[in-house]
Amino acid sequence: MPAEVIYGTEIATKLRNELRKEIMSLQKKGIQPGLAVIIVGDDPASKVYVREKKRASEAIGIHSKVIELNEATSQQELLDKVLELNNDSSIHGILVQLPLPKHIDAKIIIESITPNKDVDGFHPINVGRLITNQECFVPCTPLGILYMIKDKNIPIEGKHVVVVGRSNIVGKPVGHLFLNENATVTYCHSATEDLYNHTKKADILISAVGKPNLINEQGVKDGAVVIDVGNSVLSSGKLSGDVNFDVVKEKASYITPVPKGVGPMTITMLLNNTIIAAKQS
Ligand SMILES: Nc1nc2c(c(=O)[nH]1)N[C@@H](CN(C=O)c1ccc(C(=O)N[C@@H](CCC(=O)O)C(=O)O)cc1)CN2
């Protein structure tokens, strides 16, 4: 039987409706959640994501502030902007859209965001708290993946989760998140020998590399849950994940598509994290 397709779009809509209600009750208590998004330069994809973050925030009642800085902005100017937002009591969540221009050190910028407003969960304090299984802001894409799996009542405890990719935004944190749920986690990356030897042992396979057709049916166990975080733009202009969807869906029990799979959960979890930040302020 072909896999059930998990549409992040549907789960995100449901969750955003719940978040809208939560904001209404916060507003009654005099709390107005606020999110600031900083974008530096003209990367077209980043501009789309930032526009969507603003639109999605406002649609559920989050006050949204977008700060657009030009490509030539210096690291110090960007640091000054973050420090100003750290001290702005109307702003509960701050995020700096990545990637940043090459002359700016993203590590230094991320570390300048106060951890209590770091709704991306990228600050080393939040990363450390995630690894040590403490309450923290969890990066939005990993959190969205976990939310989708729980929404489908897919068991995690004791299951073998194989993560392909080790980025700070998705690969590393998603592995720790599932480890905290008592899964057994294997990480694969560009230096892994015989990738499919690992991936075909996965009960839950998460691929976050950005390489179309990296995962074919030979790399997937019968009945596995396959989560595709790839987002590559093909020469045709079409968006592609890492997974060969048409063939893998015949073997998996659940599969996420690209687009409309994990992607829409990322911005939804950002809204969720901003509400948490506002409640904790
Ligand atoms: N500061 C951050 N920078 C970046 C993050 C992040 O979480 N924080 N993640 C990505 C970009 N991103 C959000 O910022 C993001 C990527 C993709 C999607 C999404 O919904 N994708 C859709 C397809 C969209 C399309 O058609 O182009 C999907 O997969 O269905 C949302 C957000 C890097 N930077």
- Please report, for residues 45, 62, 92, 231, 233, the alpha-carbon distance to residue 237 in angstroms, rounded to integers and kept in the order given: 13, 33, 36, 12, 6
Which ligand 1 atom is nearest residue 98's CA? 3
* Catalytic status, residue 53: yes
pLDDT for 80: 98
107 and 151 part of one domain = no
d(CA 148, CA 121): 19
Name the active-site residue from 81, 118, 120, 203.
120
Domain assignment present for residue 274? The answer is: no
In a domain, 234, yes or no: yes
- Cα(266) to ligand 1 centroid in Å equals 6
Q: The tokens of 256 are what?
A: 């996420």
Whether 81 maps to a domain, the answer reads yes
157 and 199, same structural domain? Answer: yes
Residue closest by Cα to atom 29 of ligand 1: 263
Same domain, 73 and 186: no
What are φ and ψ of residue 11, in 5° steps?
A: -65, -40
What is this structure's pTM? 0.97
- Do the domain assignments include residue 154? yes
* Residue 41 counted as an annotated binding residue: no
Tell whether 162 and 211 lie within a shared domain.
yes
Provide the residue-wise pLDDT of the chain in tens; the chain has 281 residues.
Answer: 899 999 999 999 999 999 999 999 999 999 999 999 999 999 999 999 999 999 999 999 999 999 999 999 999 999 999 999 999 999 999 999 999 999 999 999 999 999 999 999 999 999 999 999 999 999 999 999 999 999 999 999 999 999 999 999 999 999 999 999 999 999 999 999 999 999 999 999 999 999 999 999 999 999 999 999 999 999 999 999 999 999 999 999 999 999 999 999 999 999 999 999 999 99
Most ligand 1 atoms within 8 A of CB, residue of 37, 49, 207, 267 to mutate:
49
Ligand-binding site membership of 20 (annotated): no
Same domain (yes/no): 91, 187: no
User: How far is 272 from 146, CA to CA, in rounded Å?
Assistant: 14
Ligand 1 center to 30 CA (angstroms):
31
How close are the terminal C-alpha atoms of the chain, in Å? 49
The pair of three-digit structure tokens given for residue 273, joined into one six-digit string = 């994290």
Ligand 1 closest atom vs CA 139: 7
Same domain, 35 and 152: no
- For residue 277, being part of any structural domain is answered with no
Specify the DSSP class assigned to residue 268: H
In this structure, the residue with its CA closest to atom 25 of ligand 1 is 259
Give residue 1's pLDDT.
84
User: DSSP per residue over 26-84, as a string?
Assistant: HHHTT---EEEEEEES--HHHHHHHHHHHHHHHHHT-EEEEEEE-TT--HHHHHHHHHH
151 and 251 co-located in one domain: yes
Asked whether residue 15 is assigned to any structural domain, the reply reads: no
Q: Does one domain contain both 207 and 253? A: yes
- Residue 200 is among the residues annotated as catalytic for this protein: no
Single out the residue in 78, 113, 148 at which a domain terminates: 113
pLDDT, residue 38, reads 98
The finding on whether 239 has its CB within 6 A of some atom of ligand 1 is yes
What percent of the residues of the chain are helix, what percent strand, and what percent coil, each to the nearest 5?
A: 45, 15, 40
Residue 160: beta bridge partners?
Answer: 184
Using DSSP bridges, classify how beta strands 184-188 and 160-164 pair: parallel, antiparallel or unpaired: parallel
- Assess whether 97 carries a catalytic annotation: yes
Number of domains in the chain: 2
Q: Which residues contact 106 (CB under 8 A, 6 or more apart)?
A: 96, 98, 99, 100
Could you tell me the CATH number of the domain that includes residue 35?
3.40.50.10860
Lookup: tokens for 254: 């659940």
Q: Which residues contact 130 (CB under 8 A, 6 or more apart)?
A: 121, 136, 138, 173, 176, 177, 180
- Tell me: do 95 and 158 sit in the same domain: no
Spacing of C-alpha 65 from chain mean position = 20
DSSP symbol at 153? T
Domain harbouring 179, CATH code? 3.40.50.720
**121 found inside a domain:** no
The residue whose C-alpha atom lies closest to atom 4 belonging to ligand 1 is 98
- Is the CB–ligand 1 distance for residue 259 below 6 Å? yes
Other CB atoms within 10 A of residue 124 CB? 12
Last residue of a domain, one of 113, 129, 154: 113
Q: What is the pLDDT of residue 35?
A: 98
Domain boundaries, position 176: 138-263
Does residue 212 sit in helix, strand or coil? Answer: coil
Are 145 and 222 found together in one domain? yes
Same domain, 142 and 96: no
Beta-bridge mates of residue 96 = 38
The answer to the question of whether 165 is labelled as a binding residue is yes
6: tokens are 């998990």
Closest CA to 162 of 211, 247, 220, 231: 220
48 part of a folded domain: yes
Q: Both 202 and 243 in a single domain?
A: yes
